[in-house]
Amino acid sequence: MERGGAVHGYVVGVTGSGKTVAIVLGLAAAANAGAVSWLASLDPDAQLAAAGQYIDRQGSGRLFAARAVRAAVRLMAVRGEINAEVGYDFSPASPYPLLTIDLDEFNGLCDDSDLGQEIARGAASIGERGRKYGIRLNFAGQTLDLSRIGGDRSLREQTRSGTGVVLRTVSGISGRQATEGMLPEGVELAEIPTVIGGGLTIADRMNGITEAPHGASTAGMGHALTGDAPRMMRVLYVHLPKDGTAHNLHDLFPEGSMVSTLTDREIEALDADDLYGDWTAPVTEAETAAAQQAAAKAKKLTAKDRIRAVLTDAMTAKEIRDALPDLAAGTVRNALSELAGEGLIANPEHGVYGPLS
């Protein structure tokens, strides 16, 4: 979190690079800061399941991820009501906690299925609007491909201003390629080998081995980016047994295994819309119908629709453009004029717009 609200982030790294450990350390940091954490991965993962014992929600599969994102999108509206009551957007003084949502193997979650596209749309919406509602997204994967989902430009801009961790990537793919253009202009990351030191023997060279096989593993070695020059870093070592046991994780998370949760008001609001139950339960017919309606509606969203979606309180035209950076300034200006002229939004003073009260 920063003064301006919740900031998004990302973790990129191949298998064995320390990505899972980096995710778990991030969860521990969030827990110790009093944040609520939801973690969704594409496939079941025993190591993430071990960390799941110390956070509010953890699960795998597109259905679980879609339900998590769906609940978070609804939560923005609930928190918007709270913000209006207290008179300010999310801050450390807000009467609700920071919510951080980790989406592991993000590219795989956002496939072409209905659920995958729902995750993509929800992530884009949270990426555009989540800051002022205290909802933070953390994307993780071997690479990130934000260009294939809606709102990609907004996601990229919002995520770039947060914290990124780039570990060892696939051989031949640079850090810039792996993070899909989120690195600062002109910045290139040094390539990280599998091991360092150790040297090559004559026998190694005769066998065609060109990378030192006897050195120290670079698992956890990478670069941290916080909107400026990257800093070389090393992820702290955490033993994560592959049988799902918690092992020493209790030393990282808050004493007494205290798990932060949403406020009663938030839980009741989500529960009233059937968004806070068992996210691993079978899909109901009503849920299928609702998802199909949402998909059909999403395909028909116009600039006006998107402006009304982000216009939850009084905003200047510039703030609206900043919330929808993939829309041209002229498009936003014309749409605002039409919406105000049609009486669909309020225009209390020049250059300021808001929802109808």
How many independent structural domains does the chain possess? 2
Is the pLDDT assigned to residue 212 strictly greater than 70?
Answer: no
Tokens of 6: 């919740």
The answer to whether residues 79 and 90 touch, using CB atoms and an 8 Å cutoff, is yes
Question: Which among 300, 324, 344 is the end of a domain?
Answer: 300
b (16+ CB within 10 A) / e for 177-190: ebbbebbeeeeebe
At residue 223, the pLDDT reads 86
pTM (two decimals):
0.76
Instruction: List, for residues 88-140, the tens digit of each pLDDT value.
Output: 999 999 999 999 999 999 999 998 888 998 898 899 889 888 989 999 999 99
| Structural domain that includes position 121 | 9-300
Same domain flag for 94 and 231: yes
Backbone Cα Rg of the chain: 22
- Same domain for 313 and 286, yes or no, is no
Q: Looking at the domain assignment, is residue 3 inside a domain?
A: no
What is the average pLDDT score of the chain?
84
Look at residues 274, 300, 326 and tell me which one is the last residue of a structural domain. 300
Is 4 within the bounds of a domain?
Answer: no
**Alpha carbon of residue 337 to chain centroid:** 33
| Sign of torsion over alpha carbons 254, 258, 260, 263 | negative
Percent of the chain with pLDDT over 90: 34
pLDDT score, position 246: 63
Residue pLDDT, tens place only, 305-332 = 888 878 877 889 998 988 887 788 888 9
The values of phi and psi at residue 12, to 5°, are -120, 135
Residue 2 lies in a domain: no
Q: What is the pLDDT of residue 295?
A: 67
pLDDT per residue over 3-21, tens digit each?
Answer: 456 788 899 998 888 899 9
| Cβ 60 vs Cβ 40: under 8 Å | yes
Q: What is the reported pLDDT for 244?
A: 66
Q: Which of 39-53, 147-161, 223-237 has the highest mean pLDDT?
A: 39-53
pLDDT in tens, 250-309: 888 887 668 999 999 999 999 999 999 999 999 888 777 777 776 666 566 678 888 887
